[in-house]
Each structure stands twice: as C-alpha cells, then as structure tokens.
Amino acid sequence: MLQVRSVSRSFGEIRAVDDVSFDVKSGRMTGFVGANGSGKTTTMRVILGVLAADSGTVSWKDRPVTQSVRQRFGYMPEERGLYPKMKVAEQVIYLARLHGLDRATAHRQTHELLEQLDVAERADDPVEQLSLGNQQRVQIAAALVHDPEVLILDEPFSGLDPLAIEIVLNVLRDRASRGAPVLFSSHQLEVVERLCDDLVIISNGAVAASGSRDQLRTRFGPPRYELVVGDDAGWVRDIPGVRLVELDGARAVFDLDDGTEAAGVVSGAPGPEQAVLQSAVERGTVRSFSPVVPSLAEIFKELV
C-alpha cells in the first residue's frame, strides 16, 4: 500500500496541498478528482519526489519512499515529455534502458505495450507525426515499460477518444490486477466512476472525502428512491415524510425528508419509502421500486 500522510506544500502564499492523507491500495485503481487548481498535480509530484513536501510523508510497503524506491514507480506527468523527433519504439526503449532494463527486455516490453495500446504500427514513426491521442498512448507506454510497482498517472485519459479510453483502461486494469496500486487523476468523472475502485476527492488542497467508490455513493447520497407504477404516480407527493424530486407520469423519484430514516435504519420502524411502496401496491401495478445511488458527478457537486 502507498500511504500519503499529512502532506502539505505551499507556493509562497498559496497552500496548494494542505495536510493531505490517503492510501492507494495494492491491486486497486484509485481515482483522484478535484476542480482545477485543487492540488492533484502537486500531490502527485510530491509522491514522485519531483517536488519536496513542506511536511508530511509518503511511504510504500511501510517504508519511506526514497529515490531508489521511486525508480520502481511509473509516472505519467501532466506535462507530456516525449522527444518529438525520436521514433516511437526507439524512445520507449530508451526510457526503459534509463530504468535499468537490459536491451532485450526493453525491446520486448516496448513492443508488447505498443501492441496492447494499439499503436504498434506507428513504432517506426517520429512521435511528432502521431495524433495527440496516439502520442498520449506512447506516453502511457513510457510510464509502464519498466513494469513499475506503483503507477501514478496525471490525466491519462485526457484527449483520448472512447475507443482509446477502453484500450488504456484495460491496460491499467491489467496492471492493477497484477498487484500494482494505480493512482490516476481525471476530470472525466464518468470515466473515473466506471474505472476506479477507490476515490480521493480533493478540494482547495484538502481531502474532502476518500474511500471505496461504493461506500462514498452510499455515504453521500440522500436516501432516494424511484417508483414506476401502472398509471399516474402523482399521489406520492402526499405521503408524509417524502419529498417528490421528479414526476414523469407513472414514474416518481423521491427523497426522504431531512431527518427521516429509511426502513431498518432505526430498528423496527418502517420508513416512509415503505409507505409509498405499500400505497403503490394497494393502488395497482408496481413496475419497479428501487433505491437510486448518486453518480460521482452528483457527489462531486456536493463536495467541491
């Protein structure tokens, strides 16, 4: 597990990262989200040692992260750093060699990755001749080629089309399933939502929430339900303890009033959602009744 503990970093008057702590667990994909300027890149740079923290620690497998440990990390920086005139494969092999791989291994791992990332046919072209999306795939190959123990990726999906997102996503999942902790930042919340196991939400340099995606959805979602009946569902608004959020003919979405608990939360007490369901059954057909979990975008709006 990679542990970030009480990390702070200021630039002059600006406190870019303020007492930030979170874990990136082995074998899990952790999405790192926050508004522009909230401190994601600064935190990632501190993890990588590109930037020193003013205070706080970063540890990997319970040991402080030193320069030699960082050699075994894979990092995709926000500012992309490929040599435009160098050929794709040559460049990735070169970076692999810098990480200490022998020539044959560097060669083999480069070509495997270019295949997986679906840019193998551009292996002998100079990087500058590739589209930005394809350059991005090469950048990802460069971050992964030395088979890193930990992956830290700053916006790995920006500028990728949906097909490329799927390809990169599969490559990262594969790395996670082999045990690497993967921390990636992204503004594409629907991608993060689909891809991550865990989440760290940062706001103004501080962690606003962290934990597993499913836990956060349960924690931050108001108790909300969707009911679909056979005819008009307008009567739902008259049930005590219920606040109608959306009504579309036979479909009603409702929250429980503030301070009202769902059934089972307070032992034995049936919640107002049970009254809705019972009333629906008495009135006729119930097509569906289910809790609604908030999307990451909704949680984000609430926190950031």
Ligand X SMILES: Nc1ncnc2c1ncn2[C@@H]1O[C@H](COP(=O)(O)OP(=O)(O)OP(=O)(O)O)[C@@H](O)[C@H]1O
Interacting residue ranges for ligand X, rule: CB under 6 A: 11, 14, 16, 34, 36-42
User: Within 10 A of 94 (CB to CB), how many other CB atoms are there?
Assistant: 16
Residue 178: what are its φ and ψ, rounded to 5°?
A: -90, 5
Find the shortest distance in angstroms from Cβ 75 to ligand X: 14
Nearer to ligand X, 91 or 186 (CB): 186
Find the shortest distance in angstroms from Cβ 29 to ligand X: 19
Find the shortest distance in angstroms from Cβ 22 to ligand X: 14
Nearer to ligand X, 34 or 294 (CB): 34
User: CA 254 to CA 237: how far, in whole Å?
Assistant: 8
Pairing of strands 182-185, 73-76: unpaired
Find the shortest distance in angstroms from Cβ 4 to ligand X: 14
Nearer to ligand X, 151 or 233 (CB): 151
Q: What is the DSSP string of 195-262?
A: H-SEEEEEETTEEEEEEEHHHHHHHHS--EEEEEESS--GGGGGSTTEEEEEEETTEEEEEEPTTPPP
Find the shortest distance in angstroms from Cβ 114 to ligand X: 27
User: CA 285 to CA 232: how far, in whole Å?
Assistant: 11
Q: Is 52 left (phi over 0), alpha (psi -120 to 50) or beta?
A: beta
Find the shortest distance in angstroms from Cβ 39 to ligand X: 4
Nearer to ligand X, 135 or 185 (CB): 185
User: CA 88 to CA 82: how far, in whole Å?
Assistant: 9
Nearer to ligand X, 38 or 109 (CB): 38
Residue 29 · residue 198 · CB < 8 Å: yes
User: What stretches of the chain adopt beta strand conformation (E)?
Assistant: 2-11, 14-24, 29-34, 55-60, 63-64, 73-76, 150-154, 182-185, 198-203, 206-212, 224-229, 242-248, 251-256, 286-291
Find the shortest distance in angstroms from Cβ 161 to ligand X: 21
Find the shortest distance in angstroms from Cβ 79 to ligand X: 10
Find the shortest distance in angstroms from Cβ 133 to ligand X: 19
Collect all residues with Cβ–Cβ distance below 8 Å to 188 and sequence separation of at least 6.
157, 158, 165
Nearer to ligand X, 35 or 86 (CB): 35
Pairing of strands 55-60, 63-64: antiparallel
